[in-house]
Chains A and B, each alone.
Chain A
Amino acid sequence: MIKNLKLASYLLFFAISFGWQANAQSGKSNGKYTNELVFKFIPLDDEFYTNQGDNKAVLDQLYAAIDKFRDQIKAGQIPLLVQGYSFSADTKEKNQQIAYRRAYRVKSVIITDKGLAENNFQTQNKVAAYRGEKDVVVVRLILNSNDLVSSKNKAGEKAYEKKVGEKAYEDSELQAQSENFSFEDDDVETASQGVTTMAIINNDIFRNKAGFQLSQFRFQTRGYYSFYSKRYINGVAFNDQNRGVFNYASIGALNDVTRNGDAVDNNDYGLFTFGALGGAENIDMRASNYARGGKITGTYTNRTYYSRAMFTYSTGLMPNGWAFTGSLGARYSDEGNIEGTFYRNFAYSLAIEKQWDKGRHSLAFNTFGSPVERGQQASSYLEATSLIGNNLYNPNWGYQNGKKRNARIVRAYDPTFILSHTWNINRDSRLITGVGYHYARYGSTSLNWYNSPDPRPDYYRYLPSYSGNADTYQNWSTNNTNFTQVNWDNLYFANRLQLREAQNAADSAALYNVEERRSDLYEATLNSTFKTKLVPNINFVGGIEVRTTQSKQFKTMDDLLGGTFVYDYDKFADNQVTDFDNVKQSDLNNPDRKVYKGDVYGYNFNLNINSANAWFINEHTSKKWDVFYGGKYTFSQYQRDGKMKNGHYADNSYGKGQMHTFNDYSLKGGLTYKFNGRNFISGKVSYSTEAPLPSNAYVSPRITDKTLALESGKVLTMDLSYIFSFPGVNGRLSAYRTNFYNQTARVSYFHDVYQTFVNHMVTGMDKTTQGIELGLSVKPTSALTIDFAGTISEQYYANNPMGTITYENNSLSDVSEKVYYKNYYLGGSPQFVGTIGVRYFIKYWFLGVNLNGMDRNYIDISPLRRMASTYASLNPNDATDLEAYNILTRQERLPGAITLDASVGKILYLSKGHSVNFNLSVNNILNKEDIRTGGYEQGRVDVSYPNKFNSKYFFMQGINCFLNASYRF
């Protein structure tokens, strides 16, 4: 308890500043301070019944207050005092026991519902009556011991109580929404940058809306790629070092134990992180985070999987300081909504924690994993999808012996182990140290073929536009699956006929096979973060991070489709080269090797990646101004270790290659001016250098160590936000601009004319994204809320970078030529997007409707089409030539779209604190199946036939639903 008045007033200002900030960020209407909150109990009973008396209302009131001061509570600055009273039993010991249990139960409920931690509370057990009440529990937020409720505040309190309802349902609805959420599967092989997902709900309206409603459009906030969003678990960093992204599949079907934590947006710093351009989240999976009890969830949906089950049980933090929380989950479909896809996933999580010294120390151990096997979909050409009449046409599958078989199957498993220690040194200081280890197995199969007809059904030469043939047109328009899908029976026939007719050993090699491309990762990370208060109004937070990773990439023979072996050759090697017999070898150390099922072949290399960084943030607070500044230094290095001596690069593929080292730094600073408690304006600037990701650095990592000159990219970003919270209206208006300098990207494709794989590296690329965001929440009545979130942005390439083309079969020497990218738009995310939603709450039913729209969604451009030499043979005065040039250089803008979603949910509170939650959400009610959410231009070009290599598109699913039921006990 604070005795010193001076200190109290400091704390008060402190509380006000953070309180207002937190409040405004939360987007909730401002309320007054809270007085003691009293929960009623049954004499001699220690069970906490929320429907007893007005316990529910009081609880909601308490939750409203907790929300308001959430950050300080979590930071330990405003403890929650829970006092258990019991005076009805006959002995002092009994009363003591009952009082203790009552306080414990209330605390547990609060911890579970609000995601707080044990050390946010102070508990007291009193063998006494509280103002005449013998069986109660009293909860208080310790802001200021002298803060008593005055009559002036009573009016505010009434208004406050009205907000009780909103609080309850907003929480529940957000909760329900997050239950509905299932993490997008990020496919390593896809050209797109993946979708950034969020696990933690925080109070920023724009972030929440963008995360849930707009993910259907593949919207990326501010256009930042997913490797700019950092994810931590228990304070340990988990974006992998190779591709820089977080593997959401590792926590698939573990939603219940990954919902708690903290999130910071848009380059903000947090207590666990220096910050990241795309925001950061720290998922708190520690066992003590959960109240005692369990939860069972069942879900039905019609997306990639159709059923999901989750079961979670926690002992809660027990008096002996131990806590155990376990979770099991599963997701399944025999065939998802997209033909040929299937989903089989099982997940487990176990968290064990021990606290001692009254919660001052805690050691938490976590292990979890979510092995999955699923069939993938692929994008395809407009011609194919429109002929079949199905925008979700999936060329990956085909019939084998009457059963559907998908050529592209992902098998992934990412078991993770985390050990984390928290030391609450004192009220102001805390040290969290964690070590995480995970082994990520990722394999993706695909068809491979040698000296045989292309087995892919939508190969452009099999489409009617190529041949102009009526039979081909007929086959496609009637969707004759012998031609529109992979014909597995034919592949088996060809292999077995070849074997049967082979005159010698060399002829017996299989023509078709399925290979599995593996990208495995072994990664260990250490994070240590320290926060303290240097002087009363200066906060310090800093940390160090050390990481080591080994990425193993290779491919194995998965299925020989009736054949017995293949030779380990590069099928694209140019046979005109005199040294052909050597050049075609995948591994000169094992020439002419026969590959059998399960063997590693084709390519095999490791990337050894190590890095370390140290950072700090200093924050000065005062009544009107908050200032922060900080810096970060990163050391990183990586090296390729080739396990095969490739025939194309005999001197530069086998063994340990060049060690690449980078020293990077980042500086940031920001200013917040508080007009008053209701609104403030905040600006941030940051400049960073970033080492190129190992997955982008090598020209052709599968076969050679070769790189171009590697330099760190640079990012300069600034944003300005106005955050307001008035009665009935709150939100945030932001303007931002981010300049990227010296970026690297790589595009790979097969070149028809030169009959070889081509890697096109673009370096020295500059990009700019800038725009305005608005998140708004309006409450005309207490039951009705209208939300809006939208952004208008411009994301484009800012210069003409240099492109370097390397031909994998070395038939031609490298070509370095300027690529004309300037002022083309960035693809991958709509630049103009918005959602407006209406939510209505009545008698614990929540109804919601959302109208979402997007436009200015551009296709990802390819570098070859923007090189001068590609058009050297064309004459601008010739109409046909000019037409071809225009078609090929124009950047396609995907059509805008509007969708409508609706949801309905209900919470039922049962006895003994149990509850049941139903939620049904229906997306794309208007069943629009022609919405293109993204696409990319093909790398290849034919100037004589500009429409020969058309772009490929991703389509949105038509009407889809998510029905979720959960039972808490």
Chain B
Amino acid sequence: MKTLNNIIVVLSVALLAVSCTKDYETPPFTEPSYVAPTDKLISVEAFRTMFASATTSPTVIEDTLFIQARVVGNDVSGNIYKQIYLQDATGGIVVGVDQSSIYAYYKVGQEVFLELQGLSVLTYGGELQIGYKGTSSSRIPWDTFTAHAHLNSWPDLSQVDTAEVSLADLTASMKNTLVELDSVYFVNEGSEQFAVASSGSAVSQTLKDKDGNSIDVRTSVYADFATDSLPVGYGKIVGVLSKYNGSWQLSVRSRDDIKTFSGEMAVFLDETLLTQDSFNKFTAYSVTGTQAWGVSTSYGAMITGYLSGTNYANEDWLISPASDLSTKTSVSLSFYHASGPTASLYVGKDSGYYTVWVSNDYTSGDPSTATWTQLTPLTYGTAAWTYVASTFSIPEANLKSNFRFAFKYMSSATQSATWEIKNVSLK
């Protein structure tokens, strides 16, 4: 009997031991809530004013202050690195946090009460930033940040203000805020990606508007859209605006910030002709005469038939690289040109010394192998060495593939002038 009792005891212990695999109770999912003392709140604008004298060396914030703001930019795509952008009605501020994937807890639209006491202010790239004293890159350690950045209620995207701005009128109050730019295009549209680099961790791509104003879109090589091709055409883009060493830059938060783009090339050509690289994209062909097209960093592509007191007869073509205009319904060519010296200002102007041509069947070598159509009229400057803008609408018949334009220069043994061309764009 005793044996039987013992057996029962042992068996029950055994059964107890393996009765059930542990089941874990899931924690409740409750809306976070935080209330800061209203008399300690400070607006971003006031904050910026208060710490306008911050330097690259971090200063600890001693006062009890809270910024009540929303998260407008985080590292969800891996583009923004170890930073978070907060914005209220008066402006935006960037906070450096030493953690990756901050977005996991701080979503765009999340209201945050940032308790400033104990954190530090510093400048980075000439701009104000909230950070921490004594850490690597002065970033706030994660455990400190989570203790200071109090979440309040669920994220609400509708509360996030996206300002529609234009590149021409960016102001200081827009720093670290969320903006939307419309009718802009990437200079390297279709030919490059957002961030593919052989070295370095970020790449800048120039974004321009129709008026030629530009801004750098800076993308990290670790962004999940880094190897995507730049969109083609004009479109809308959203991002966080910031300044670095005096220049504006835009940080896109994720692929979704690249809104609809037209898909048709915005600009086919946009060359300054002020650098050797830019000039080398063109083909210079000398039909007659020894003088040829050259490049100057001040004046652009230039040519003259005059050398050491003597005029020489020349015919020289400067032919552009090919573009495919077949998808477009209208394209215009514009450039700046000047000529001189004063004495030769009108030389050959009626003899077709300076003409602009277009063709769709040029391949290489002698331009006479192709059919060219002249673009008229060419406006001339009235003063020597004064640049004049010229714009032509490309004839419909030429809105096809293998489109090229060319500048033809002529001089004679009796007279010649200098022709300079720069800032050529085809769009």
A interface residues (Cβ-Cβ under 8 A, vs B) = 294, 296, 307, 309-311, 328-332, 342, 344-346, 371, 373, 400-401, 403, 405, 411, 451-453, 461-462, 467-469, 471-472, 475, 483, 488-490, 492-494, 496-498, 500-501, 503, 511, 559, 562, 575-576, 578, 580, 967, 969
Inter-chain contacts of A467 with B (CB < 8 A): 98, 135-136, 141
* CB of A252 to closest CB in B, whole Å: 12
B27 adjacent to A488 (CB under 8 Å): yes
Interface check B35, CB cutoff 8 A: no
B6 adjacent to A296 (CB under 8 Å): yes
B98 adjacent to A453 (CB under 8 Å): no
A311 adjacent to B17 (CB under 8 Å): no
B interface residues (Cβ-Cβ under 8 A, vs A) = 3, 6-7, 9-11, 13-18, 21-22, 24-29, 78, 98-102, 104-105, 107, 109, 132, 134-136, 141-144, 147, 154-155, 196, 221-222, 224, 226-227, 256
Inter-chain contacts of B107 with A (CB < 8 A): 497, 501
Tally A-B pairs: CB < 8 A.
128
Neighbour of B17 across the interface among A346, A452, A483, CB < 8 A = A346
A471 adjacent to B222 (CB under 8 Å): no
A346 adjacent to B18 (CB under 8 Å): yes
Query: From A967, which residue of chain B is reached at the shortest CB distance?
Result: B6
B142 adjacent to A452 (CB under 8 Å): no
Known pairs A373-B22, A562-B29; list 15 more (Cβ under 8 Å).
A311-B10, A328-B11, A328-B14, A332-B13, A344-B17, A373-B21, A401-B24, A467-B136, A488-B27, A489-B27, A492-B26, A492-B27, A500-B154, A501-B155, A576-B196
Complex: A503 Cα to B9 Cα, angstroms: 57
A580 adjacent to B227 (CB under 8 Å): yes
Inter-chain contacts of A497 with B (CB < 8 A): 104-105, 107, 155
A311 adjacent to B29 (CB under 8 Å): no
Inter-chain contacts of B142 with A (CB < 8 A): 453, 462
**Nearest 4 pairs of A and B residues by beta carbon:** A330-B14, A467-B141, A332-B17, A469-B141
B135 adjacent to A453 (CB under 8 Å): no
Neighbour of A471 across the interface among B3, B144, B196, CB < 8 A = B144
Inter-chain contacts of A469 with B (CB < 8 A): 132, 134-135, 141, 143-144
Query: From A494, which residue of chain B is reached at the shortest CB distance?
Result: B104
* CB of A695 to closest CB in B, whole Å: 28
Known contacts: A453-B101, A575-B224. The answer to whether A328 contacts B144 by CB under 8 A is: no
Complex: A492 Cα to B7 Cα, angstroms: 43
* CB of B139 to closest CB in A, whole Å: 9
Known contacts: A346-B17, A471-B147, A575-B222. The answer to whether A401 contacts B105 by CB under 8 A is: no
Complex: A483 Cα to B98 Cα, angstroms: 16
A311 adjacent to B7 (CB under 8 Å): yes
A401 adjacent to B13 (CB under 8 Å): no
Inter-chain contacts of B99 with A (CB < 8 A): 453
Complex: A467 Cα to B141 Cα, angstroms: 7
Neighbour of A461 across the interface among B6, B98, B101, CB < 8 A = B98
Complex: A330 Cα to B16 Cα, angstroms: 9
Scoring A401, A467, A483 by chain B CB atoms within 10 A of each residue's CB, the highest score goes to A467
A309 adjacent to B13 (CB under 8 Å): yes
B135 adjacent to A468 (CB under 8 Å): yes
B101 adjacent to A452 (CB under 8 Å): yes
A294 adjacent to B24 (CB under 8 Å): no
B141 adjacent to A330 (CB under 8 Å): no
Query: From A333, which residue of chain B is reached at the shortest CB distance?
Result: B17
The contact sample of 13 A-B pairs, CB cut-off 8 A, is: A296-B6, A309-B10, A309-B14, A330-B10, A330-B17, A401-B27, A452-B101, A472-B143, A472-B144, A492-B27, A497-B105, A511-B104, A576-B221
B141 adjacent to A562 (CB under 8 Å): no
Complex: A467 Cα to B131 Cα, angstroms: 13
B25 adjacent to A401 (CB under 8 Å): yes
B27 adjacent to A578 (CB under 8 Å): no
Known contacts: A309-B13, A373-B18. The answer to whether A471 contacts B227 by CB under 8 A is: no
B143 adjacent to A483 (CB under 8 Å): yes
A345 adjacent to B18 (CB under 8 Å): yes
Neighbour of B10 across the interface among A328, A345, A452, CB < 8 A = A328
A472 adjacent to B141 (CB under 8 Å): yes
Complex: A373 Cα to B24 Cα, angstroms: 15
Complex: A311 Cα to B136 Cα, angstroms: 61
Inter-chain contacts of B147 with A (CB < 8 A): 471
B101 adjacent to A451 (CB under 8 Å): yes
Complex: A371 Cα to B14 Cα, angstroms: 11
Inter-chain contacts of B221 with A (CB < 8 A): 576
B16 adjacent to A332 (CB under 8 Å): yes
B29 adjacent to A496 (CB under 8 Å): yes
Complex: A328 Cα to B256 Cα, angstroms: 62
B29 adjacent to A493 (CB under 8 Å): yes
* CB of A678 to closest CB in B, whole Å: 47
B104 adjacent to A453 (CB under 8 Å): yes
Complex: A284 Cα to B18 Cα, angstroms: 28
Inter-chain contacts of B135 with A (CB < 8 A): 467-469
Known contacts: A400-B27, A471-B147. The answer to whether A311 contacts B6 by CB under 8 A is: yes
Inter-chain contacts of B6 with A (CB < 8 A): 296, 311, 967
Complex: A469 Cα to B144 Cα, angstroms: 8
Complex: A54 Cα to B206 Cα, angstroms: 105
Neighbour of B134 across the interface among A307, A332, A468, A503, CB < 8 A = A468
B24 adjacent to A400 (CB under 8 Å): yes
Neighbour of A453 across the interface among B9, B17, B100, CB < 8 A = B100
Inter-chain contacts of B27 with A (CB < 8 A): 400-401, 488-489, 492-493
Complex: A207 Cα to B25 Cα, angstroms: 48
Inter-chain contacts of B154 with A (CB < 8 A): 500
Complex: A496 Cα to B3 Cα, angstroms: 54
* CB of B137 to closest CB in A, whole Å: 11
* CB of B275 to closest CB in A, whole Å: 29
Complex: A816 Cα to B29 Cα, angstroms: 51
A575 adjacent to B226 (CB under 8 Å): yes
Scoring B17, B29, B104, B142 by chain A CB atoms within 10 A of each residue's CB, the highest score goes to B17
* CB of A456 to closest CB in B, whole Å: 13
Complex: A501 Cα to B9 Cα, angstroms: 53
Neighbour of A400 across the interface among B25, B100, B222, CB < 8 A = B25
Scoring B78, B101, B134, B221 by chain A CB atoms within 10 A of each residue's CB, the highest score goes to B101
A296 adjacent to B10 (CB under 8 Å): yes
Neighbour of B227 across the interface among A400, A451, A500, A575, CB < 8 A = A575
Known contacts: A462-B142, A468-B135. The answer to whether A346 contacts B14 by CB under 8 A is: yes
Inter-chain contacts of A500 with B (CB < 8 A): 154
Scoring A346, A488, A511, A969 by chain B CB atoms within 10 A of each residue's CB, the highest score goes to A346
Complex: A330 Cα to B10 Cα, angstroms: 8
Inter-chain contacts of B143 with A (CB < 8 A): 462, 469, 471-472, 475, 483
Complex: A451 Cα to B224 Cα, angstroms: 11
Complex: A218 Cα to B66 Cα, angstroms: 55
Complex: A580 Cα to B221 Cα, angstroms: 13
Scoring B3, B14, B78 by chain A CB atoms within 10 A of each residue's CB, the highest score goes to B14
Inter-chain contacts of A488 with B (CB < 8 A): 24, 27
B104 adjacent to A498 (CB under 8 Å): yes
Complex: A329 Cα to B13 Cα, angstroms: 9
Complex: A492 Cα to B221 Cα, angstroms: 30
Query: From B140, which residue of chain A is reached at the shortest CB distance?
Result: A469
A578 adjacent to B227 (CB under 8 Å): yes
Neighbour of B226 across the interface among A401, A496, A498, A576, CB < 8 A = A576
Complex: A562 Cα to B27 Cα, angstroms: 9
Inter-chain contacts of A307 with B (CB < 8 A): 13
Inter-chain contacts of B256 with A (CB < 8 A): 503
Complex: A462 Cα to B145 Cα, angstroms: 13
Inter-chain contacts of A344 with B (CB < 8 A): 17-18
Complex: A729 Cα to B240 Cα, angstroms: 86
Query: From B108, which residue of chain A is reached at the shortest CB distance?
Result: A501
Inter-chain contacts of A311 with B (CB < 8 A): 6-7, 10
* CB of A512 to closest CB in B, whole Å: 9
Query: From A371, which residue of chain B is reached at the shortest CB distance?
Result: B18
Inter-chain contacts of A492 with B (CB < 8 A): 26-27, 29
Inter-chain contacts of B11 with A (CB < 8 A): 328
Inter-chain contacts of A468 with B (CB < 8 A): 134-135
